[in-house]
Amino acid sequence: MAFPESFTLELLNRTDIVDIVDKRVPLKKKGSEYSANCPFHQEKTPSFTVSPSKQFYHCFGCGAHGNAIGFLIEHDGLTFLDAINYLASSVGLEVPKSNFQSPEKKQQSSNLLEALNIANIYYKSQLKKSRLAINYLKDRGLSGKTAKDFSIGYAPDGYENLKSTFKNYQDETLIKAGLTDKSDNGKYYDRFRGRIMFPIYNTKGDVIGFGGRVIDSEKTPKYYNSPETPLFQKKYELYGLLTSRKAIHDEGYAIVVEGYMDVVGLAQFEIRNVVATLGTATTEFHIQKLIRYTSEIVFCFDGDRAGKSAAWKAMNNSLSSITDSVQLKFLFLPSKHDPDSYVREKSAKDFQNLARQALPLTEYVIKYLTTDNDLVSQESKVKFLNNIEPIIMKINAPKFSLLFKKRIAELVNLDMSEINQVIGKVNKQKLPTRQKVNNKIQRKILMSSTRKFSLLIILNPGLAKKEDLHMFQSDLHEAKLANAIIEISLKDTEYNMASIFHFLSNRFGEKVIEELNSQLATVGEMNCELEIDALRTNLKNKQSAIEKKNTLNQIEKKGNTNLLSDEDKDFLRNITKR
């Protein structure tokens, strides 16, 4: 997705990366920079730094680095587009929407959205006509208002019902949108048939897919989702988020359930701070979406074996998203109950009380791992420590991790120093892959005068001069890079390191940015003016020497002095005098 370069540069200039990172990874001021334990790999001693002057983050341990956009993509799991939108809204910039996509992709997305919207209107109209579907919803205790709030519809039985709605029933867009399919013999047919239809909305309010639930209990599968499309990926989307955002904010927590009917059923009882995953396990991307609206998430699962298995997966997938300000809790319903049935048999108040009393993450993990482990023998304690260690190692929240370890120490009758010895020991022989790559890059790159000049200009764009563009006349990579850095610095001396790097990455690629950032980490903060002046003099002298050498080579090629111009003769006389 392409944006005007001027927009992205302005966005990075207006953004304070310290504020962006600190909301997710608590930072401590250390000199002119900020530091923390790296959120991208496990470590005991902080090697992750954020520079307010450079507007860049860098980890000396694993080599992770980038600007505010890159951090949101890597840490929050946002797409590039979502990261741009998030930053733009936070600094009051309007995103130039016409530049999001190529014309072809934009048209494809537009066609998919239009088809899904038309289908949604059709399904809602069919619900009103179907006594069978209406009775089913009434039997489930849903009112017409709730059905309207969630735009619930109905896909009738029959193989070609959508044919009456779409003029070109064989349009490939309908297949891509997941509305129709094609048999082996080339016959087109409706994908959803005889199902209650739950439209899935993105946070903009567009229909991006559907979930269909059978009315006939003998049909399988019970729930059937749209296939993944350019608009719809299950690992990123949550059912009900569009309608629940305000309630999540007002209540102070979000409840994550397993199905559409749970979300709708609880809404019927005015419990609206609820979302559901879409036929997949909870992912870190789901968590990152939710913590934009709340710092407390309650996972609600059935108390059967499948529910317990789903809870354990959700816990493991959520660990990397935990910070000291985010709480995860786990609620298991009594046997043979799901949220919908529980709230109908008991009450909304009873369900809300259960949610408030949900097990905190630490207690849930300990309870799960000690259900069949009494921690009496040394062997059982070792087994427990072996099982809990990978969980602890995924957590990037320092305070939370410390208290969790303390609780573990109490259980196995060890002190904190002993726990720290057996949990989280780093094998120094096995460096993270990115650290190996980073070390390899640093060994390979020599700090030439040209490169050092380039780095110092990046650190202080205001020291660039127009005459600097004449110092690098060759076609070598280093010269082209230096000229590009001088060019962008002269264009606007207010550009920061993040915006300069964005400018360079479009021309030279991410590998060059990684090289520059690795070397910048060794340059550090300094008063650059004297150093730049000295390098400028040195580089000018080198350039002058190169030009003289080239002129001499040209003169030598002429051979006969009678062929020399007056300019050539003057040049030789000056060289001789020197």
Peptide bond into 39 cis (omega under 30): no
Give bridge partners of residue 360 from the DSSP assignment.
Answer: 329
Q: Give per-residue pLDDT as tens, 124-175.
A: 999 999 999 999 999 989 999 999 999 999 999 999 999 999 999 999 999 9
Please state at what angle helix 131-139 crosses helix 103-129, rounded to 10 degrees: 80
Structure tokens at 288: 């990152």
Domain boundaries, the chain: 5-99, 103-225, 241-367, 373-439, 445-543
* Cα distance between residue 471 and residue 483, in whole Å: 9
Backbone angles phi, psi at 61, to 5 degrees: -85, -55
**Of 72, 159, 177, residue with least CA distance to 120:** 177
* Cα distance between residue 162 and residue 335, in whole Å: 41
Q: Give per-residue pLDDT as tens, 474-511.
A: 778 888 888 888 888 887 656 667 778 777 877 887 77
Q: Domain 5-99: which CATH class? A: alpha beta
**Of 298, 312, 315, residue with least CA distance to 257:** 298
What separation in angstroms does the CA of 227 have from each of 82, 172, 208, 283?
22, 14, 10, 18
pLDDT of residue 128: 94
Spatial contact of 71 and 17, defined as CB atoms under 8 Å apart: yes
Spatial contact of 366 and 384, defined as CB atoms under 8 Å apart: no
Pick 103-225's CATH classification: 3.90.980.10, 3.40.50.300, 3.40.228.10, 1.10.10.10.
Answer: 3.90.980.10
Neighbours of 439 (CB within 10 A): 13
* Cα distance between residue 154 and residue 193, in whole Å: 9
For the chain, how long is the longest CA-to-CA vector? 111
241-367 — its CATH code? 3.40.1360.10
Going residue by residue through the chain (578 aa), what tens digit of pLDDT does each one get? 456 667 887 788 788 898 899 888 889 888 878 999 988 877 778 889 998 877 888 888 777 788 898 888 878 777 777 788 888 888 778 887 644 455 677 788 889 999 999 999 999 999 999 999 999 999 989 999 999 999 999 999 999 999 999 999 999 999 999 999 999 999 999 999 999 999 999 877 899 999 999 998 777 788 889 998 888 988 889 999 988 988 998 899 999 998 899 999 999 999 999 999 998 888 888 887 888 788 899 999 988 888 899 999 999 988 877 888 889 999 999 988 989 899 999 999 999 999 999 999 999 999 999 999 999 999 999 999 999 999 998 887 888 989 999 999 999 999 998 998 888 653 333 334 444 434 433 333 446 788 888 888 887 788 888 888 888 877 788 888 888 888 888 876 566 677 787 778 778 877 787 778 777 766 644 456 777 877 788 788 777 777 666 666 666 665 555 555 666 556 555 555 54
Give bridge partners of residue 528 from the DSSP assignment.
Answer: none
Spatial contact of 153 and 123, defined as CB atoms under 8 Å apart: yes
How do beta strands 327-332 and 296-301 pair? parallel
**Of 179, 180, 193, 188, residue with least CA distance to 117:** 179
